[in-house]
Amino acid sequence: LLLCHAEEAAAVIVSGLRSTDVFVGESATFTCELSHPGVKDVQWWLDGTPLHNNLVTEISEQDGRIHTLTLNDVACHDSGTVTFRAGPLISSAKLLVKGIALLA
């Protein structure tokens, strides 16, 4: 009975991050859905740098299961790998920020 309960308690990633292409100045949103709430040590990264909630970086959580990262007003240098980690679970995706080509 205890073993069964322990197996049920291990969350899994139901829906992982998806790679996103956006233009300079736009917002990029990444969402990761977990099978159930209560996972500790949730962290977002961009190219190995931990992200924190601020004006440019919006980190939110819905029902403890749906974790969302929105990067506002992105620039070319924001292109890279976005990683979501919740305990032992990891999901990664690419962010490609495209410049706006000016027509001559």
DSSP notation for 22-72: EETTS-EEEEEEESSS----EEEEETTEEP--SSSEEEEEETTTEEEEEE-
What's the CA gap between 35 and 14, in Å, rounded?
6
pLDDT tier, 104 (very low <50, low <70, confident <90, very high otherwise): low
Q: How are beta strands 49-50 and 42-46 bridged, if at all?
A: antiparallel
Q: What would the two tokens of residue 32 be?
A: 């990761």
Contact 67/61 with Cβ under 8 angstroms?
yes
Query: What are the pLDDT digits (tens) for 67-81?
Result: 999 999 999 999 999
Residue type for position 90:
I
Please report the pLDDT score of residue 1 as a whole number: 43
pTM: 0.86
- The structural domains of the chain, ordered by start, are 13-98 (2.60.40.10)
Mean per-residue pLDDT over the chain, rounded: 90
Please report the pLDDT score of residue 70 as a whole number: 98
| Among 81, 68, 78, CA closest to 98 | 78
Please report the pLDDT score of residue 9 as a whole number: 63
Query: What are the pLDDT digits (tens) for 4-30?
Result: 444 456 899 999 999 999 999 999 999
